[in-house]
Chain A
């Protein structure tokens, strides 16, 4: 059974600080990794994708991947109240098929002013 695990939270972070969201996955052969943001009552939207070990930065967001440890994380620098949302980690364990994506159940992030 392939699994993607996230701490459900809520994770409370002061405004301006770094928020760190973590995700582990069970299948060592997983190939691509994604972070989606979901505001309350809305649908998920893709914010980051990462395919190789190391860091990938996009604005205030940094995705980190460590395939040896089967671990992917999302860092949000200078956290803003608008970052308050649920963050879903998704892992594609077979890039030859778009249906092989597994989502974690999400971490709820709250940025306090």
Chain B
């Protein structure tokens, strides 16, 4: 089974803190994604990576950055957390040529106070 592991299930941070969300996949997938999910807004793509050290902005990249130093690991960074970044963050991976077949991690519910 494909496994996508997110480091934290719940996280509470203060406004202005730097926040790191970690994601690891064990299936040697080329593509990795970070989404946020908010009620009524669905899943929105923050950043996407199709290879080590490669990244592409999604629909809502403002206030976020990413890092992919190894193929299996994709990190999302909130440089200075704000209350409007309170959300469920979902990491996903897929293999090349199977772009729409995403495997999701269990999610991190981030609350910024």
Contact = CB atoms under 8 A, between A and B. Distances in A.
A99 B105 contact: no
Contacts, number: 60
Interface residues of B, number: 23
Interface stretch (A9-17, A44-52, A60-68, A77-85): A44-52
A62 B31 CA distance: 28
Interface in B37-87: 40-43, 45, 48, 50, 56, 58
B50 A42 contact: no
A101 B42 contact: no
Top 8 closest pairs, chain A to chain B, by CB:
A98-B99, A105-B42, A43-B104, A99-B48, A103-B43, A92-B100, A98-B31, A34-B100
Interface of A: 8, 32-34, 36, 42-46, 49, 88, 90, 92, 95, 97-101, 103-106
